[in-house]
Amino acid sequence: MSDRVFRDRKEAGRVLAGLLDHYRDEARHQVYFAGLFPCIWRALEGDRRDRLGRLLAPFMAVFLENDTGPLRRALAAHGFDEREIRLVLAHEGHESGPMAQRRALRATLRLLGEEGVFAVPAVTDALAAAGLPTSA
């Protein structure tokens, strides 16, 4: 599969530059959330903490949604068959299931654990109801 991607070095460079830009952008988002969330969480008490905590489940669920349509179409347009497309999606972190969820949420779960979020029953109840991990 890689020989098909890297046959044209200019195209490979553009693809790699796009991927690097995407990963840098994702890293900026993660750093921002990791700095902002503790400030907000620590400032809240009681019912307000419960209400914010219950919002984490839908927030995390949206994060886990993979809109693979555009990538699938682009790969197919460049001659990739369905098996190759599945391999690319799996390599790029688009796999599904509980273990894939835990991997995708690793940093978020660690942050929530460090802030004591999992000690709030309203949070763990909402996460469990959404089928999401309830611990770091």
Per-residue pLDDT of 43-92, as tens digits, reads 999 999 999 999 999 988 877 776 677 777 777 877 778 888 787 777 66
Report whether pLDDT(1) > 50. no
Question: How many CB atoms lie under 10 A from the CB of residue 55?
Answer: 11
- Mean predicted lDDT score pLDDT of the chain: 81
- Check residue 50 and give its pLDDT: 94
Using a pLDDT cut of 90, give the percent of the chain over it: 35
| Residue range 14-47, pLDDT digits in tens | 666 766 777 788 788 888 889 999 999 999 999 9
Q: What is the pLDDT of residue 134?
A: 93
Which pLDDT value is given to residue 12?
64
* Every domain of the chain and the residues it spans: 2-129
- Residue 97, φ and ψ in degrees, nearest 5: 110, 170
**What's the chain's length in residues?**
136
126 or 70, greater pLDDT: 126
Question: Quick one: the chain helix, strand, coil %, rounded to 5?
Answer: 75, 0, 25
